Amino acid sequence: MKFKKAFTQLSRQNYYEALKKDNPNRIDDVYFGNYAEDGGCEFELTMAWIPLQNKYAPRLEIFNDAFKCFTDHKELFEKLITLNDTDFTADEFSRFLIDLGYEDMSHKKLP
Calculate the CA dihedral of residues 16, 21, 25, 29 and round it to 10 degrees: -20
What DSSP designation does 87 have?
-
Instruction: Check whether 71 has a pLDDT greater than 80.
Output: yes
Residues 6+ apart with CB under 8 A from 26: 10, 19, 20
pLDDT score recorded for residue 100 = 96
pLDDT score recorded for residue 30 = 96
For 98-105, what is the mean pLDDT?
A: 96
The distance between the two most distant Cα atoms of the chain, rounded to a whole number of Å, is: 44
pLDDT score recorded for residue 38 = 86
Span 43-68, pLDDT tens digits: 999 999 988 888 889 999 999 999 99
Give the global pTM. Answer: 0.88
pLDDT score recorded for residue 49 = 92
Span 6-53, pLDDT tens digits: 999 998 888 777 777 777 767 799 999 999 988 889 999 999 998 888
pLDDT score recorded for residue 29 = 93
